[in-house]
Amino acid sequence: MRHTGFISACLAGAVALSACAPKADDSVERAFQDVNVIDESNLNDVMLTVADPNEAVAHFRTTLKGAPDRIDLQRGLAISLVRAKRFTEAVPAWRRTLTLEGASDEDRLGLADALIRTNSWTDAKEVLDSIPPTLETYQRYRLEAVVADANKDWKKADSFYEIATGLTTRPAKVMNNWGYSKLARGDFAAAERLFGEAIRQDQSLFTAKNNLVLARGAQRNYTLPVVPMSQREQAELLHTLALTAVKQGDVKKGESLLRDAVATHPQYFEAAAKALEALENS
């Protein structure tokens, strides 16, 4: 009887353990799933920030095949296409994002941005108009300003640019855009001021330095501005200033500036040398 009782107890224990086994396996499986989600999330973040944009595009496209309705993956694909400057492909990717559950007004801004980059101004404005005015972000006002610029609605453009500069801690690029808008309108003094502000915010922004030279040259001021610049940048800015002078009929001044550009560049400055040769032979 004692043996029978012992065997019964063992059998009961075995049944209990076997009943617990699936639960233990389920817990382990869930734990691994959680780890996989964390790993995938980290990988997606890496792809959106430091990875090569084209590699990121390939990653998100491959991952989407297994989960076509996941909005985070579709959004990642759209962002990566913009980073890779594949704007024509980015537009349908953003449109697809907006069809998925969880799409936001920020995603609409992404679509508007891609449309602007493909010069689809009317479509971009329609998308921006569909976003409620309660969304007051730097990105929204920056895009609104660019669209207003394209439509030559200068009053709105100035208002949107001003709001955008107040909504970011890094206003250099939007100031540069605003300055270029003023330059296109012929308001050279205002353009010069804005380019100077942009450079003070970001001394590495060569585009703003080049635009500043254009604004000064348009006023027949052919001296380089006092801003931080490398020797190579100085030569390139002299080249820009020279071409501006020639375009305005100040050919002799242009020749002189081209000689300075060739002499200043740390290497052979082919573009400036060719332009100088063409002027001397004309």
| DSSP letter string, 150-177 | HTT-HHHHHHHHHHHHTT-S--HHHHHH
| Residue segments in the chain with a per-residue pLDDT below the cut of 70 | 1-41, 50
Residue 29 lies in a domain: no
- Per-residue pLDDT tens digits for 243-265: 999 999 999 999 999 999 999 99
pLDDT at 14: 43
Residue 92 lies in a domain: yes
Listed as own residue / partner, the contacts of 124-127 with beta carbons closer than 8 Å and 24 or more positions apart are: 125/151
Residue 250 lies in a domain: yes
Helix (H) or strand (E) holding 17: helix 2-49
Q: How many residues does the chain have?
A: 282
Give the range of the structural domain holding residue 279, as residue numbers without chain letter. 230-282
In the listed set 62, 81, 103, which residue is the last one of a domain according to the structure? Answer: 103
pTM of the model: 0.80
Residue 125 lies in a domain: no
* Number of independent structural domains in the chain: 2
In the listed set 103, 119, 150, which residue is the last one of a domain according to the structure? Answer: 103
Residue 15 lies in a domain: no
Residue 57 lies in a domain: yes
Residue 71 lies in a domain: yes
In the listed set 103, 124, 153, which residue is the last one of a domain according to the structure? Answer: 103
- Per-residue pLDDT tens digits for 149-174: 999 999 999 999 999 999 999 999 99
pLDDT at 188: 97
pLDDT at 224: 96
Residue 78 lies in a domain: yes
pLDDT at 17: 39
Q: Which two tokens stand for residue 209?
A: 């330095």
